[in-house]
Amino acid sequence: MLRFHKTQEYFPVSKVIIPFCKLKLVQTPLTTYVYPTWNQDVSEDGFEFYLMNANGEEYPPGIPQDSSTYTIDELPENLNVWIKDASDNTQKLEFTSIVTKETD
């Protein structure tokens, strides 16, 4: 049974209006899950987002390969997030973290 996981919450560095107010990453031995907290006045339909490392490269997909899983060896202090809306408008934002939980 898999027990160890680490949880970090990430918040946008700038105060621009974006579709979600925070991201929670939960890292397990097999994959890292991403859970956005969507703003109340925004429908999550039509939005896509991608997590990028400090070099601007997208993190590889996790297991199962899906838009909410990534392969991240070590949770970073900061994340770059590309957000794309239904009209293909994109913006790159930086998020910074707070470690919220580690369990065995």
State the pLDDT at residue 38: 82
Kindly report, residue by residue over 61-79, the tens digit of the pLDDT.
998 887 789 999 999 999 9
Please tell me the pTM assigned to this model.
0.82
Kindly report, residue by residue over 86-95, the tens digit of the pLDDT.
888 898 889 9
State the pLDDT at residue 44: 64
What architecture is domain 5-103? Answer: Sandwich (2.60)
Kindly report, residue by residue over 18-42, the tens digit of the pLDDT.
788 899 999 998 899 999 988 877 6
Residue 47: C-alpha distances to residues 2, 86, 104 (Å):
31, 6, 34
- Give the residues across from 49 on adjacent strands: 83
Sorted by where each begins, the domain ranges of the chain are: 5-103
Which segments of the chain are extended strands (E)? 5-12, 20-27, 32-38, 48-52, 69-70, 78-84, 90-103
> What CA–CA distance (Å, rounded) separates 100 from 88?
33
State the pLDDT at residue 75: 92
